[in-house]
Structure 1
Amino acid sequence: MHKVNFKIILSFLLLLSINFIFSQKKFTIVLDAGHGGNDHGANRTYDDIGRIAEKDITLAITLKVGAMLEKNKDFKVIYTRKIDEYPSLSDRTNLANRSKADLFISIHCNSSKKPTAYGTETFVQGPDQNDTNLEVAKRENDVIFLDEKDKQTFGSYDPSSPESLIALKLQQSKYLESSLLLGGLVEDNFVNKDKRTSRGVFQKNLHVLRMNAMPSVLIETGFINHPEESHYLASDKGQTEIAESIYRAVIDYKKAVDRKSGYAASTKKPEPEKPVEVALKNDFRILLLSSPTKYNDGDPALKGLNYILPIKENGLYKYYYGVTNLASVRDINIKTAKDAGFRNAYAVGFMPNQKLNTGYYTIEVYTGDKLNGNSFILQNLKDVERNKENGVFYYTYGKVQTLEDAVKLQKDLEAKGIKNTVIQKVAK
């Protein structure tokens, strides 16, 4: 009896458990605090609270959302920035794509020339639906001119061109449903939980969303130029409530995605098992043509087909294509032959390993003029037989009883450098 080392077994099981845990892909979210660094975004100065800048509010809300998500072991959070700096739009989208994120959330504050404008809005990528939110698109896209990389990446993009609209519609279709789902959940929470006014979810051509290969939203958390809303945005209470609404939307979004995936997996009808094809008793080769002419490999008469076996019988060379004992493959081979131009091709059955009752198979190694004693064939093969018909010399080698043995003998000759041989069926 071998003594079992339980410590080794336990260590092995623990290692497997750890590998399993870490192999599970977490739901990855990229949180983007809008603006930053030299890009202050929208800003206003008030007598009681002083100057407030969009870049500070978005960073505060983003960090709160991230802190809430990081408490959940199912999520992995990646930030485009955690300090007062300006990542280019290209940097933000490249980070999200490299991370193979499941969601991209960009957090912003709104602004308007009208001091009475207030409420939240969420945007998903797509062609502009109307002119209502042109100010948002212009303001969020204008930051491309702050960074040379963005100028090169986005500067020549014309959103009004027909090509761009087609590309946008193609791109948005892949992630639009998921993006709209998340956007709707965010806005619903703003209304139902925080008792705020939602202006809705809109499609807009926004560069920070356009390059993302995942569901993405840009959230305008409120108007910084509105006296009451700006104070709410600048307060810790307001920022916490907004963060909680976004956090809850992400939780509900993931649950919806999980339900949909689970539902699809559980309701998908299993594909019926295909019956196992039974092999036929015979091997089938496709007869392409019979001809008194010998064609070597690659001859145009063979029309580019490979795996051709010539068999000489009664003075005719018969050219067979492929070999199989499955009816499905046989039918495919017939179609291939006919598509290549052999319209009269048909299948011929060969009984495997069937010995000839009368006669034998041999290998025709050369036809043409008489070989001299220094020829490669005669130097490398013994017992070569020579015959002469109508002024043509025929050299053959070997005698075997089955076609399979003849094919093997032919391959042995090819290994010795003797090619373009033909199997010959000889009747006694």
Structure 2
Amino acid sequence: MYKQNFKIILSFLAILLFNFSSAQKKFTVVLDAGHGGGDIGANRNYSDIGLVQEKDVTLGIVLKLGAMLEKNKDFKVIYTRKIDEYPSLTDRTNIANRSKADLFISVHVNSSPSKTATARGTETFVQGPAQNRENLEVAKQENNVIYLDEKDKETFSSYDPSSPESLIALKLQQSKYLENSLILGTFVEDNFAKTGRYSRGVKQENLHILRRSAMPSILIETGFVNNYDDAAFLNSEQGRQETAENIYKAIIDYKKAVDRKTSSGTIVKKPEPEKPAEVALKNDFRILLITSSVKYNDGDPALKGLNYILTIKEGGVYKYYYSVTNMASTRDINLRTAKDAGFKNAYAVGFMPNQKLSTGYYTIELYAGPDKLSSNSFILQSLKDVDRTKTNGTFYYTYGKADSLEGAIDLQKDLEKKGIKNTVIQKVYK
């Protein structure tokens, strides 16, 4: 009887101890300051703010973020590095996996290949075999560090990101964590946007450090080192503190969401107020980038890489318009895209659809230059009824007539099908 009672007491104590330890389990966050040691990461030297190195910025942000979390009794913080050293990608993810962490957060600084440094802002990546080629440079940049360490070479040697089998395995492995990662990433980017940073959003990309983490994981690009404003912000104590605070608030909101789990194990998100359906505007809106006496062809550096350019010649000058929409939200996005590309004075211009010109017509300018086209040129061989004029030593060749802008655009598309490109719509007044 005594032994039986003793076993019952031991069992009861074991249950109490288990429940107590479960209740006391802290929410574990692994913080990874990207790069380090001999791997300085993205960097840029400025005459006034000095050398900005990714490894220094990331460590500064992570230490501030960790200090905030450590003050909260609900959290346990684990660092992949707290000094200027280089842990391999394998070491970083092993630390997270062995600790059975609830979150893995890797902090980085971005860099764009463009010398014009128009790219700016923050973006957060979650794991996924994304097909978005815009993210390819980030994937290459963050994955290339696997070649710095022999352990990483061995660990990742058999992984082929272009292999369908690898991608299928990756999807199966990460699907259970992806939704939570997306929620956390959205919290992070929303906080950046609220404090005035330009957010490029949450994206999926095949990043090794996220692929190897058996928990919800995000990689945060806190800005572009080759964008002066971003670099100056991240190189300052205030900028690093603000960045850390935004990530900290996102982690707090994420944990609250986790704590509101339903019995099915899915995260209950805060209900968002239903937005009324957007109503189309009466006008089509194009973004006027520049007005110039110079004609630029598609792909000219002056257009700063923007596509969907419509050029309209009016009064002897060329007006370059970017994109078209009749939705206010898309118009505003297009305007922001134009300004981010470097067209600071860009603005939206409304066009009434299918409006006919009462005092003139549209034609297509095929060619403008100091020399006449030869009779066997491709343009003259392909088209009849081409008009030629000469003004101030320049020859102009035009073709066709349309009474509306839409008609002129259709005429221009027909010419492109015939192989005649880089034409300009010209407005002619009677």
TM-score category, normalised to shorter length: 0.5 to 0.7
Which runs of structure 2 are paired with 1:14-413 in the superposition (5 Å)?
A: 20=20, 24-114=24-114, 115-192=117-194, 194-261=195-262
**Number of the residue aligned with 1:323:** none
Identify if the C-alpha distance between structure 1 residues 264 and 136 changes in structure 2 by more than 3 Å, giving closer, same or farther.
closer
Which digits, 9 at most, give the CA deviation of each residue in 1:343-375, with x for residues without a partner? Answer: xxxxxxxxxxxxxxxxxxxxxxxxxxxxxxxxx
How far 1:56 moved relative to its partner? 0.2
How far 1:262 moved relative to its partner? 7.2
State how far apart, in whole Å, the 2-side matches of 1:159 and 1:135 are: 14
How far 1:171 moved relative to its partner? 1.7
How far 1:39 moved relative to its partner? 0.3
SS of the equivalent of 1:250 reads: helix
State how far apart, in whole Å, the 1-side matches of 2:211 and 2:112 are: 23
How far 1:32 moved relative to its partner? 0.2
Which digits, 9 at most, give the CA deviation of each residue in 1:113-142, with x for residues without a partner? Answer: 221100100000110231001110001000
Identify if the C-alpha distance between structure 1 residues 163 and 19 changes in structure 2 by more than 3 Å, giving closer, same or farther.
closer
State how far apart, in whole Å, the 1-side matches of 2:155 and 2:101 are: 21
The answer as to whether partners of 1:110 and 1:136 remain within 8 angstroms in 2 is yes
Which digits, 9 at most, give the CA deviation of each residue in 1:236-272, with x for residues without a partner? Answer: 111000000000000000000101247969x9xxxxx
Which digits, 9 at most, give the CA deviation of each residue in 1:262-316, with x for residues without a partner? Answer: 7969x9xxxxxxxxxxxxxxxxxxxxxxxxxxxxxxxxxxxxxxxxxxxxxxxxx
How far 1:145 moved relative to its partner? 0.6
How far 1:23 moved relative to its partner? 6.0
SS of the equivalent of 1:260 reads: coil
SS of the equivalent of 2:134 reads: coil
Residue identity in the other structure for 1:56? D
State how far apart, in whole Å, the 2-side matches of 1:166 and 1:21 are: 38
TM norm structure 2: 0.56
Which digits, 9 at most, give the CA deviation of each residue in 1:358-416, with x for residues without a partner? Answer: xxxxxxxxxxxxxxxxxxxxxxxxxxxxxxxxxxxxxxxxxxxxxxxxxxxxxxxxxxx
State how far apart, in whole Å, the 2-side matches of 1:18 and 1:168 are: 34
Identify if the C-alpha distance between structure 1 residues 182 and 19 changes in structure 2 by more than 3 Å, giving closer, same or farther.
closer
How far 1:170 moved relative to its partner? 1.0
Number of matched residues?
251
How far 1:169 moved relative to its partner? 1.4
Residue identity in the other structure for 1:168? L
SS of the equivalent of 2:219 reads: strand
The answer as to whether partners of 1:182 and 1:250 remain within 8 angstroms in 2 is yes
Query: Which residues of structure 1 form unaligned runs of 5+?
Result: 1-12, 268-428
State how far apart, in whole Å, the 1-side matches of 2:148 and 2:34 are: 14
How far 1:52 moved relative to its partner? 1.2
The answer as to whether partners of 1:26 and 1:76 remain within 8 angstroms in 2 is yes
State how far apart, in whole Å, the 2-side matches of 1:31 and 1:180 are: 17
State how far apart, in whole Å, the 2-side matches of 1:38 and 1:263 are: 46
The answer as to whether partners of 1:104 and 1:214 remain within 8 angstroms in 2 is yes
How far 1:197 moved relative to its partner? 0.8
SS of the equivalent of 1:31 reads: strand
SS of the equivalent of 2:261 reads: helix
Residue identity in the other structure for 2:92? R
State how far apart, in whole Å, the 2-side matches of 1:261 and 1:30 are: 25
SS of the equivalent of 2:37 reads: coil
Identify if the C-alpha distance between structure 1 residues 42 and 258 changes in structure 2 by more than 3 Å, giving closer, same or farther.
same
SS of the equivalent of 2:30 reads: strand
Identify if the C-alpha distance between structure 1 residues 264 and 177 changes in structure 2 by more than 3 Å, giving closer, same or farther.
closer
How far 1:224 moved relative to its partner? 0.6
The answer as to whether partners of 1:112 and 1:223 remain within 8 angstroms in 2 is yes
SS of the equivalent of 1:132 reads: helix
SS of the equivalent of 2:179 reads: helix
TM norm structure 1: 0.56
State how far apart, in whole Å, the 1-side matches of 2:217 and 2:265 are: 23
How far 1:49 moved relative to its partner? 1.6
The answer as to whether partners of 1:144 and 1:155 remain within 8 angstroms in 2 is no
State how far apart, in whole Å, the 1-side matches of 2:210 and 2:41 are: 17
How far 1:156 moved relative to its partner? 3.0
